[in-house]
């Protein structure tokens, strides 16, 4: 295998689309989780502190009420209740201080805090200590004493139901779910693409029975649809190419068989002396036919390349048609076909005169082949808007709409009507279409007023051409019976 072929069949390197998609979604999910955590942590921390301080304030209110009832003796069992509450607070890491009137508090509670509660106020503060921030809640009691609750801010936040640990767990769970979704989505997206790649490789290896299921997202499904259409188009094109080659081979074999037979007869001396000129003329005619076919094939091949040179100049299309008409009139009369020429006095076009004559001859030969005896063939030229129109009309079987759509494709009509009616190799009309395009015009086909086919080309006038539509038929003359 050569290096280019090996490179063409080698699979591309690099990570797969599924892996890249999964990695991309994972990275995006990780970034979202991290950003969310960075943004949410201060909010969660603040909410945790607020909740902790609210709970601590409620506990301070309850303790102040119990201590006040215990001191004034209005409720039996208040002492036990207060003691039990202080035990619960201690288990939560909350330090409770009951400061009688005139007594000194324990840090971080200050004398100012005691004075504030003695005057009937409350204390609710966050303070910095050597061990960190603490929450301080102070309340007065009905007996004149004060109660204070002190709790470490970190411990309070962790007990409030908003720990950072839960944020991390939620982030990890979210990232795991994102990875699972990315894996499933990547497999669903990549599966039809892999099928399409395998189908394209089979097609490049020569398979034409490729049919992909159309599934997946719209863009991916369109790839499968396009490959299915490509497979069908390749099958049709290759079938036409095979039929075209078969038809060309048959057309080449016919004159070669005649030439070979007559040449053998001449070489063996079985041809009478008086018949030698006629035999030579027959051989010459077959050789000319073979030469024309080979020339058309070469021209058709060159038109697809860039090596066909055109000698474009100002040409009198009317004079060229009159000159060609003399030849085709004689050939039509020999076949008992009525030939009519419809041209103006003068019509200047910008084209290659040899190629224009080639177009005329191909169109006339195609029309004469399908036109029965007694029916007309019309060679017409005229002007339509900013283009010149050259067309040949006949009284033959004509063309359907489907025929018109493929009239200028090689071997298309030959394949369709082979064995049904007289057809050529499919080279002539294909050559006409491509010659017209190379000379700045285009070929068209349709139904003729004479009842058969109307096939022709448009050519640029000896002026700058503009856009044009398919021209109407050049007015047909009144034909006799």
Helices (H), ranges, 106-217: 111-118, 153-159, 164-204
Instruction: Output the average pLDDT for the chain.
Output: 76
In words, the CATH class of domain 234-304 is: mainly alpha
pLDDT tens sequence across 32-61: 777 877 777 777 777 777 877 888 888 888
The tally of CA atoms less than 13 A away on the side-chain side of residue 271 is 17
What mean pLDDT is predicted for residues 198-224? 77
The rounded distance, in Å, linking the Cα atoms of 411 and 244 is 5
Which residues are CB-neighbours of 395 under 8 A, at least 6 positions away?
A: 371, 372, 375, 376, 377, 448, 450, 451, 452
CATH of region 22-165: 3.30.450
Among the ranges given (29-33, 119-123, 223-227, 372-376), the one the predictor scored with the smallest mean pLDDT:
29-33
Residue ranges per structural domain of the chain: 22-165, 234-304, 313-460
pLDDT over 80 (residue 117): yes
- pLDDT surpassing 70 at residue 391: yes
Q: Provide the 3-class DSSP secondary structure of residue 481.
A: coil
Domain 313-460 - what CATH class?
A: alpha beta
The answer to whether 343 and 322 have CB atoms below 8 angstroms apart is yes
Q: Would you say residue 400 has pLDDT above 70?
A: yes
Query: pTM for this structure?
Result: 0.46
């Amino acid at each position: 295998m050569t290096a280019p072929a090996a490179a063409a069949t080698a699979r591309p390197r690099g990570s797969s689309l599924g892996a890249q998609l999964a990695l991309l979604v994972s990275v995006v999910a990780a970034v979202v989780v991290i950003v969310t955590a960075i943004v949410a942590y201060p909010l969660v921390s603040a909410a945790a502190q607020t909740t902790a301080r609210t709970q601590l304030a409620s506990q301070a209110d309850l303790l102040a009420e119990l201590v006040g009832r215990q001191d004034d003796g209005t409720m039996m069992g208040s002492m036990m209740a207060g003691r039990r509450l202080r035990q619960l607070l201690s288990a939560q890491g909350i330090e409770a201080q009951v400061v009688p009137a005139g007594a000194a508090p324990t840090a971080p509670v200050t004398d100012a805090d005691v004075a504030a509660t003695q005057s009937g106020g409350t204390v609710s503060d966050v303070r910095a200590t050597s061990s960190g921030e603490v929450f301080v809640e102070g309340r007065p009691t009905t007996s004149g004493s004060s109660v204070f609750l002190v709790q470490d801010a970190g411990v309070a936040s962790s007990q409030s139901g908003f720990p950072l640990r839960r944020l991390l767990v939620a982030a990890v769970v979210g990232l795991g779910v994102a990875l699972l979704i990315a894996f499933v989505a990547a497999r669903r997206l990549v599966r039809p693409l892999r099928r399409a790649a395998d189908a394209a490789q089979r097609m490049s290896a020569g398979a034409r029975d490729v049919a992909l299921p159309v599934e997946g997202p719209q863009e991916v499904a369109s790839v499968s649809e396009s490959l299915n259409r490509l497979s069908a188009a390749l099958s049709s094109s290759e079938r036409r190419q095979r039929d075209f080659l078969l038809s060309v081979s048959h057309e080449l074999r016919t004159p070669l068989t005649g030439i070979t037979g007559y040449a053998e007869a001449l070489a063996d001396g079985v041809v009478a002396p008086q018949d030698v000129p006629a035999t030579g003329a027959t051989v010459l005619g077959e050789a000319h036919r073979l030469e024309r076919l080979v020339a058309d094939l070469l021209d058709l091949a060159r038109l697809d390349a860039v090596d066909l040179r055109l000698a474009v100049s100002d040409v009198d299309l009317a004079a060229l048609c009159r000159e060609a008409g003399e030849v085709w009139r004689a050939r039509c009369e020999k076949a008992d076909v009525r030939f009519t020429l419809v041209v103006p006095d003068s019509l200047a076009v910008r084209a290659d005169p040899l190629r224009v004559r080639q177009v005329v001859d191909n169109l006339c030969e195609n029309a004469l082949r399908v036109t029965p005896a007694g029916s007309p063939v019309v060679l017409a030229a005229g002007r339509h808007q900013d283009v010149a129109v050259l067309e040949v009309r006949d009284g033959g079987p004509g063309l359907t709409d489907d025929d018109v759509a493929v009239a200028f494709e090689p071997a298309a009509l030959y394949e369709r009507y082979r064995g049904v009616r007289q057809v050529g190799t499919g080279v002539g009309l294909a050559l006409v279409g491509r010659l017209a395009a190379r000379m700045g015009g285009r070929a068209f086909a349709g139904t003729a007023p004479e009842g058969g086919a109307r096939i022709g080309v448009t050519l640029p006038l000896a002026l700058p051409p503009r856009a044009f539509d398919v021209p109407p038929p050049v007015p047909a003359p009144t034909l006799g019976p």
